[in-house]
Structure 1
Amino acid sequence: MPNADPPDELVTTAQAAALLGKSRARVHQLVQRGELTPVPHAGGTGYRFRRAEVIAVGNVPRRHGNPPRPLDQVSERQRYRRRKQEQEPQ
């Protein structure tokens, strides 16, 4: 099935991994999670991706673990500790 994108706009899995600074296995994980969409191409096997989409996925900020809480949502215990620290003589 021919593709309307020019060949230089499509990248292989290895090229996508290099653009993202990740492994090819990580690129496959991104495909399985739906964050990266492969493009049907005429020949061969393997995935091809649009270069712009790969770059856009690479620009999404990612944090490991839970995101930090906004300051107005700290727990009562944390507020208590802060008050105690402020009251202690230095």
Structure 2
Amino acid sequence: MFKKIQTSVGDILDFPPDVAGEGPKITITGSQEILVENYRSVINFSEEEIRLETAEGEVFFTGKGFVLKTILSTELRIEGKLTSLTFERGAEKNV
């Protein structure tokens, strides 16, 4: 029931999806730390690539020395040297 109320309030007040709790929120601090909130699943993880599924599509991080520091159901904290971030929604790509 709370999910329905949360979505309805978010729609009525025209909140962005990340505020309403559906879309991903990605916070990058420098090039060494990444915080991802509202992800659905980890598709691929290695020291050079991380691929996540979100409500909006897939997010790809590339870099070196990636380490998962925090893994929660709604939050993922990654440390390592980030070199690029790509977002893919179906057949179209946004960088």
Same topology, TM > 0.5? no
Highest relative contact order (Cα 8 Å, sep 6+), 1 or 2? 1
TM bucket, shorter chain: under 0.3
Higher helix share: 1
TM-score after normalising by structure 2: 0.19
